[in-house]
Amino acid sequence: MALRNSTTERQRRLGTELRKLREQAGYSVTEGGELIGMGRTHLGHVEAGRTAIPSDRLRGLCDAYGCTRQPFVEALVAMSEDSGKGWWTEYRRALSQPVLDLAELEAAADALFSYESLFVPGILQTPEYTRSIFRSSQIERPRDNLEKAAQFRTERQQILTRVTPPTLHAVIHEAALHMRFGGMAVMRRQLLHLVRMAELPHVTIQVLPFTAEGLSACSTPLLLIESHGSALDTVLVDNPAAALFIHEEDAILKYRTRFDRLRTASLPPLDPGVSASTHESRDSLGLLQHVLYSLQEA
């Protein structure tokens, strides 16, 4: 039984879900292992994400625990059979594990729901905008690491142009449109990039205006990742201390409700295909065009 030196979010999530199923069924670790001819220590390592579990044993364990949600079981099997090897593995020496975990989660996503209060979402950033953010951060980065981090963020965006892309719904606070990163020219190109990305049929972009009532302008950003037919959803909450991956059902429901409030309070989505003369006086594109004009005139 080979043990992993480090674990990914996917591996930890698989173990966590198996532990929850065991506890809900009322079995101890020893009893759970006996159900499939596995020792207590071995099952403990599986639940901690430190070692793999064959698909047949995983199905047998779910069956013994009385889990009848077949889509959920198949989602666990798919998670266990995933090699975890993707383009992001080339960055293992340069970037932290949570950053790599995000790319892996996005690669398996069916839908992404993003809210940002002070930045354009990473998956919608231009390279020069990204570099300017990294340069202005308080974290000292060697130039090589800065370039790798910026390149990594750009490569994450490839999921939006693949054959079967996830849907993306991004809510961006108006404050993020006014923040200056890299100067006016960089910001102008970034905002124009948002308009171009909104042309994709699976991308929806809304702006939450300063005038929205009852919502904090600096509320915590979030990324809700739906995957495996919503059987294994995850919320990412980023903060200066660490990235927090959340997958408890009650918590995810609260974040989903929060995102629904944000998009309901936001202006209608960017729609570059609609003639400017037919736009409502207050919609996301109209506000973005106003900011673009101010950048041009400044």
Query: Which positions ≥6 away from 186 have C-beta within 8 Å?
Result: 126, 128, 129, 132
User: Using CA atoms, how far apart are residues 197 and 298, in angstroms rounded to an integer?
Assistant: 25
Query: Which positions ≥6 away from 253 have C-beta within 8 Å?
Result: none
Query: Considering the domain 9-81 in this protein, what is its CATH number?
Result: 1.10.260.40
Beta-strand ranges (E) seen in the chain are: 109-116, 167-173, 203-208, 222-227, 234-238, 243-246
> Is residue 211 over pLDDT 90?
no
287 falls in which pLDDT band (50, 70, 90)?
confident
Work out the average pLDDT over 183-198: 92
Query: Any idea of the CA torsion for 153, 107, 115, 261, to the nearest 10 degrees?
Result: 170
45-59, 117-131, 216-230: least confident range: 216-230
User: Using CA atoms, how far apart are residues 112 and 52, in angstroms rounded to an integer?
Assistant: 28
User: Using CA atoms, how far apart are residues 298 and 296, in angstroms rounded to an integer?
Assistant: 6
> Is residue 289 over pLDDT 90?
no
143 falls in which pLDDT band (50, 70, 90)?
low
| Cα–Cα distances in angstroms (integers) from residue 125 to residues 114, 130, 133, 167, 278, in the given order | 13, 6, 10, 17, 28
Spell out the domain ranges in the chain: 9-81, 95-297
> Is residue 279 over pLDDT 50?
no
* CB distance 150 to 134 below 8 Å: yes
Query: Which positions ≥6 away from 110 have C-beta within 8 Å?
Result: 166, 167, 226, 227, 228, 229, 230
> Is residue 297 over pLDDT 80?
no
User: Using CA atoms, how far apart are residues 298 and 292, in angstroms rounded to an integer?
Assistant: 10
Please check whether the two domains, 9-81 and 95-297, share a CATH topology. Answer: no
Work out the average pLDDT over 151-179: 95
Mean pLDDT value across the chain: 89
- Global confidence as pTM: 0.90
What DSSP element (H or E) covers 24? helix 9-25
242 falls in which pLDDT band (50, 70, 90)?
confident
> Is residue 57 over pLDDT 80?
yes
Topology classification of domain 95-297: Endonuclease; Chain A (3.30.870)
